[in-house]
Amino acid sequence: MNELPLLTYSDLVQSDRVHRSVYTDPRIFEMEMDRVFGSAWLYLAHESQLPGVGSFYATRMGREPVIVMRHSDQSIQVVVNRCAHKGMQLVADGESGQRPALRCGYHGWIYDTDGRVKAIPAEKGYQGSAISRACSDAQLRKIGAVHSYRGFVFGRLSATGPDFFEWLGPMQSSLDNMVDRSPTAAIEVAGGVIRYLHYANWKFFVENTLDALHPMVVHQSVTRPGSLLTSELADHGIEQPADLSMIAPFGGSYGFYDEMGQRAVPFGHGDLGEKTSLHSGYSTGDEYFRAMVARYGDTEAKRILGVSRNNSVLYPSVMFKAPVSLVRVIKPVAVNRTVLETWHFRLVGAPEELFKRTIRYSTIVNSPAGAVGPDDHEAYRRLQSGLEAHQSNWVLLARYPDKSEGDSGATLVGPGTSDLVHRNYYRAWLRYMANP
Amino acid sequence: MNAPEDLETALAVQQFVAAEAELLNRGDWKAWLTLFSADSVYWMPLSPDQTDWESQVSLLCDDALLRELKCRRWYDRHHETGAMSLKPDIRSLRLISTLSVSSLSGRDGPELLASGGVTLAEFSRGEVRTHFARVTWRLRRNAASFSILEKRVDLLNAQGPLSDIVTYF
């Protein structure tokens, strides 16, 4: 390893390029866990996963194992998944269920659903020590802050930092759109979660999500045979099957993706598909549209369905795909290892066809056995190994320069294939890293 | 429990699934496609108790159209625009064990059910990735042999986290 710190964070992140070590240096990864994942709001769960008192879900916030729980006063509590006694994880990562209390499987300490210790076995033995049921060291540690917005539960590890709405900013409209697409304004987690292990730095996925310059190259392996098949079927008078129409837009031209537009929002957030998206051409069906009009009125229903943001990133941990009702959660494991989770949502009250489409889309596009995901993953693997090379240090973010950029806190829009959103990621990254 | 099949049929099924595996081992995906009936599905569910692919996400649910698409992607892999995840090349081997065969009456006539443990090894860029699954074939007799109505692959670690699987079991 090189000696640190010959380069400062502001040397690593320049206005139109970043140093390769932000993807490859394990020490930088550790600092990211402290400073980026330690102080940003991270997506944790959806409230439909916590239907009743004692419902819980164990997840991670960067390196920290946490338990998201529904307490007896209906509030959502998030505690560090670590017994106050000897430090054992109370629940396995990814586990969910419903229990009146959490009992440590090692020495039997029992905690209430807000993390307060209820029972310490053979408690007498602590008499005269600093430990009692009343002392803070005997409680499960709470994270810094929790905020649930329209069913999406976010947490922040640090006790201080931006308020949730300050952090969310104009991305509120992207989250709203995910929920407003339901004719009852309610959505629920359903259909299983895909957990895809990537041998690459977490930032490659975040960046790829708003990278409109890659689909027509990386996914040509499936769009090329897909368009050949489509035209062969057309020769027989057969319309393009739905599965092929889901795949076809990945082969869109640079012009198509530029036209789609992008939006860069303070705190590193962004959308791809400010104007149109891969999913713009999806038909909604009469029954669904009527249900939407009944709820929102004609104008508002059309406005909601007209928002077609392909991907919306709430930096650094989550991507929302509102038109397809799915969420992808980014869980860094190590500098070169990341788990991506894909969660699916049912629009409560909408025709079941919409949910089936969500499931079909994810089966085809998000699976580690599919014809799309593994090629993205292979790109990240090769980025990881390419950036290990020492002969050249820089990753370029120079496309579509915009003179109005800066740390002004303004929301900017640009052509879909612009590096604006990428420069915006790194402005936020630098702010987190350099100002802990 | 379904009725166990007679030895002769069981042996014929065993030979059929071994021959199927060998087509994939050799990369002869075109010939492999012909083993399936027109409305068949190659299905890799996400959970072992999954009963459908519409209300639960799957790792794969490939009907004839998607199999044809994947097959063309496979043959294009050396092309400049070919799949990066299939380059520079990939070799694979399937090991089938504990195969049991039984008969059942399907919607459109008698069917055979074969089920066994399968190990899929994929070799690429100096690494072997191994995947383990219980594979269940629903077969129908045809003039020469059998055709596959459904091939269900219950991957041991389907619930993950799991990494790429780029060939068929």
Min Cα separation B79/chain A (Å) = 9
Architecture in CATH for domain A166-434: Alpha-Beta Complex (3.90)
- For domain A42-151, the CATH superfamily is Rieske [2Fe-2S] iron-sulphur domain (2.102.10.10)
B93: contact with A, CB 8 A cutoff? no
With beta carbons under 8 A apart, name residues in chain A contacting B70: 371
Q: What is the pLDDT of residue A433?
A: 95
pLDDT band at residue A278 using 50, 70 and 90 as cut-offs: low
pLDDT band at residue B136 using 50, 70 and 90 as cut-offs: very high
Q: What is the pLDDT of residue B77?
A: 93
A244:B69 CB<8 A:
yes
What does the domain layout of chain B look like in residue ranges? 3-155
Min Cα separation B161/chain A (Å) = 4
What does the domain layout of chain A look like in residue ranges? 42-151, 166-434
Q: What is the pLDDT of residue A404?
A: 81
pLDDT band at residue B88 using 50, 70 and 90 as cut-offs: confident
pLDDT band at residue B94 using 50, 70 and 90 as cut-offs: very high
A194:B72 CB<8 A:
no
pLDDT band at residue B5 using 50, 70 and 90 as cut-offs: confident
pLDDT digits (tens, 9 = 90+) for A46-73: 999 999 999 999 999 999 999 999 999 9
Q: What is the 3-state secondary structure (H, E, C) of chain A?
A: CCCCCCCCHHHHEECCEEECHHHHCHHHHHHHHHHCCCCCCEEEEEHHHCCCCCEEEEEEECCEEEEEEECCCCCEEEEECCCCCCCCCCCCCCCEEECCCEECCCCCCEECCCCCEEECCCHHHHCCCCCCCCCHHHCCCECCEEEEECCEEEEECCCCCCCHHHHHHHHHHHHHHHHHCCCCCCEEEEEEEEEEEECCCHHHHHHHHCCCCCHHHHCHHHHHHHHHHHHHHHHCCCCCCHHHHHHHHHHCCHHHHHHHCEEEEHHHEEEECCCCCCCCCCCCCHHHHHHHHHHHCHHHHHHHHHCCCCEEEECCCEEEEHHHCEEEEEEEEECCEEEEEEEEEEECCCCHHHHHHHHHHHHHHCCCCCCCHHHHHHHHHHHHHHCCCCCCCEEECCCCCCCCCCCCCCCEEECCCCCHHHHHHHHHHHHHHHCC
- Could you give the ipTM of this predicted complex? 0.95
Structure tokens that stand for A302 in this block: 């059309």
pLDDT digits (tens, 9 = 90+) for A325-355: 999 999 999 999 999 999 999 999 999 999 9
Q: Measured on CA atoms in the order A264, A266, A270, A276, is the torsion positive or negative? A: negative
pLDDT band at residue A207 using 50, 70 and 90 as cut-offs: very high
Summarize the confidence of residues B126-143 as an average pLDDT: 96
Residue A271 in contact with residue A427, Cβ under 8 Å? no
B65:A229 CB<8 A:
yes
A-chain residue closest to B165, CA distance: A369
Say whether pLDDT at A5 is over 90.
no
Min Cα separation A245/chain B (Å) = 12
B160: contact with A, CB 8 A cutoff? yes
With beta carbons under 8 A apart, name residues in chain A contacting B60: 363, 367, 369-370
Question: Which segment of A43-57, A82-96, A404-418, B16-30 scores lowest on mean pLDDT?
Answer: A404-418
Report the predicted TM-score, pTM, of the whole model to 2 decimal places.
0.95
Say whether pLDDT at A213 is over 90.
yes
pLDDT band at residue B108 using 50, 70 and 90 as cut-offs: confident
With beta carbons under 8 A apart, name residues in chain A contacting B77: 221
Min Cα separation B81/chain A (Å) = 6
Say whether pLDDT at A4 is over 60.
no
pLDDT above 90 coverage of chain B, percent: 89
B76: contact with A, CB 8 A cutoff? yes
Say whether pLDDT at A1 is over 90.
no
**In degrees to the nearest 10, what's the CA dihedral of A184, A186, A187, A188?**
-120
B60:A342 CB<8 A:
no
pLDDT above 70 coverage of chain A, percent: 96
B-chain residue closest to A372, CA distance: B83
Say whether pLDDT at A45 is over 90.
yes
Say whether pLDDT at A2 is over 60.
no
B-chain residue closest to A251, CA distance: B81
Q: Domain spanning B3-155 has what CATH number?
A: 3.10.450.50
Min Cα separation B99/chain A (Å) = 24
B-chain residue closest to A216, CA distance: B81
With beta carbons under 8 A apart, name residues in chain A contacting B154: none
